[in-house]
Chains A and B, each alone.
Chain A
Amino acid sequence: MIKFPQSLAVSQLDDELVLLDEKTGKYFGLNPVGSRIFQLLKESGDEAQVVAALSAEYDAPKGQLTADVAAFISTLAERGLIVDDAS
């Protein structure tokens, strides 16, 4: 189950999101696809559900979507923008 820290604030600019990490004061821009993945993660917190939702929206092989979502989550984790809650 993926959760986002309390310190994360979000600003929506058209179809893109900007994330502000209040712990570090850094902010990060997400492109439209990243913003959609972030939104789905925020709604479900489940990587498999995000991939399923994206396969319905984008004309891309499931394997590629799975890899892209995993890479996105890994990038968020590297920057301390998600809390990976195993429970």
Chain B
Amino acid sequence: MHPKLRAIRRYNPAVLIELCRLWLILFYVDVRLELLPPRWNREFLFRKERDGAATPGPRTLAKLSKIVILLRTAARFRLRSGSPCLCLSLALRERLAPLGLRASIVYGARKRSDRSKGIDAHAWLVLGEATLDPGGDAISFTAFSKGLTVLFLCRSLVHLYR
């Protein structure tokens, strides 16, 4: 038996069902991103929840971290390998929606540390003030925003008060 499948046998049925559900969501995300043209995925990729979602409590956060761990496990069985952080974040968002948790996707960028002048991009979720990052280390990325004017204004004020 394949080692990955052998590892799955130790899970109890409820966890296995959750794993299958997460794999199916990942499959849906992968198929959608692979087959549909970008304009049909725009809303899917950049949808922001209008009402500010509440920050989940400790119990919900514990449940969420279990889902994230299972999502990473399910991702080992993905049929394609590209953009893991994006697919994992989108899949997690789709999984959380039926639970009443309306997370928003956030995109960020950072300079590569190896001085190759490249830029790395990353995607993660925010739910209230909580960061849900199934695919990496969101803390080292700077999120994209549309408030550049405010950003520069704030920076100017900082210079003025120095």
Contacts and interface: CB of A to CB of B under 8 A. Distances in A.
Interface of A: 6, 8-14, 16-18, 20, 22-25, 27, 29, 39, 42-43
Contacts of A9: 107, 144-146
B121 interface: yes
Contact of B148 (A16, A23, A42): A42
B151 interface: yes
Given A27-B121, A39-B152, 9 more contacts: A6-B146, A11-B108, A11-B144, A11-B145, A12-B142, A13-B109, A27-B119, A39-B148, A42-B148
| 6 A-B pairs closest in CB distance | A9-B144, A18-B109, A11-B144, A10-B148, A22-B46, A20-B144
A29 B120 CA distance: 10
Nearest to B45: A25
A29 B111 CA distance: 10
Interface string B91-120: 000000000000000011111000000010
Q: Interface of chain A, helix or strand or loop or mixed?
A: strand
Interface in B124-158: 142-146, 148-149, 151-152
B12 to A, nearest CB: 39
A11 B146 CA distance: 9
A11 B121 CA distance: 11
Contact of A22 (B42, B110, B119, B152): B42
A10 B145 contact: yes
A17 B142 CA distance: 10
B38 interface: yes
B110 A13 contact: yes
Question: For A6, A11, A13, which residue has the most chain B Cβ atoms within 10 angstroms?
Answer: A11
A18 B117 CA distance: 12
A23 B142 contact: no
A13 B111 contact: yes
A22 B142 CA distance: 16
A83 B110 CA distance: 27
A29 B119 contact: yes
A37 to B, nearest CB: 13
Contact of B146 (A10, A14, A16, A23): A10
Nearest to B118: A29
A20 B149 contact: no
